[in-house]
Amino acid sequence: MKIKVYTADVCVLEDQGLFDRLYRFVSPERRAKTDRMRFDKDKRLSLGAGALLERMLAECGVTDFTFTTEQNRKPRLAGRNDIRFNLSHSGTKVMCTVSDEDIGCDVERITEINMEIARRFFFQEEYLALMQCSGEGERNDLFFRYWTLKESFMKATGLGFRLALDSFCILLSDGEISLRQSVDKRPYCFREYFLHDGYRYAVCSVGQQELPEEMIRCDFRDF
């Protein structure tokens, strides 16, 4: 299966008519999850992420599905070991990727950072690279490069935040991304996406599959 990576902005779902139309589009499970959200911004993110996933599944020919969870509580499709997916959201952005191998994705809005977080939780080499940045803007950007790459790997392993951020190291050199880890013996590959929209995006996949060079940018008004 060719890996697909989608992203969309949920700001358009502030239009109640569009929100209601998309709400009718998604599965009862996603509607129930959206209803459990307390704040409107979280409802939009939940609905948007679910709609993005279900559209991707439909493009893969999957229209009748049930969600379940693995032992590690990572969601998956019941009875379908040939399709893996992952979701992420931050700010007003939602992101989704689908593959036939374990995969993880992460989107993060670039904001001011607390270097104490990097000192305490990042691998030492990553922290030292941050300290060598020439200015605050460069440091903030690098911090979120590390964060999205690290979280995408953690999600691809299936462990999520049960895997300590300082238990593996992301290495960035001459445009190449490599990984030093002892979590398992599987190979992993990475891809970053640069949309210059104030966010960082990353995908990590098990194996040596070719990750798409570009994300597909969707508009919920076209659903």
Q: What is the mean pLDDT of residues 113-118?
A: 92
pLDDT bucket at 212, cuts 50 / 70 / 90: very high
The whole domain housing 19 covers: 4-222
Closest CA relative to residue 9, chosen from 221, 219, 223, 222: 219
The pLDDT, as a whole number, for residue 69 is 82
CA gap 146, 150 in Å, rounded: 6
Q: What is the pLDDT of residues 31-52, one digit of tens each?
A: 999 999 999 999 999 999 999 9
Half-sphere exposure of 41 (CA within 13 A, CB side): 5
Q: What is the mean pLDDT of residues 1-24?
A: 96
- Total domains, the chain: 1
Q: What is the mean pLDDT of residues 122-138?
A: 95
Q: Which residues contact 171 (CB under 8 A, 6 or more apart)?
A: 125, 177, 178, 179, 180
Q: Dihedral sign, CA of 56, 73, 177, 196?
A: positive
Q: 201: how many CB neighbours lie within 10 A of its CB? A: 24
For residue 99, what is the domain's CATH number?
Answer: 3.90.470.20
Q: What is the pLDDT of residues 54-103, one digit of tens each?
A: 999 999 999 888 888 876 677 889 888 889 999 999 999 999 999 999 99
Q: What is the mean pLDDT of residues 107-132?
A: 94
Q: What is the pLDDT of residues 144-161, one digit of tens each?
A: 999 999 999 999 999 999
Query: What would the two tokens of residue 121 be?
Result: 């939780």
The pLDDT, as a whole number, for residue 71 is 66
pLDDT bucket at 175, cuts 50 / 70 / 90: confident
Q: What is the pLDDT of residues 181-210, one digit of tens each?
A: 999 999 999 999 999 999 999 999 998 888
Whether 214 has a pLDDT exceeding 80, the answer reads yes
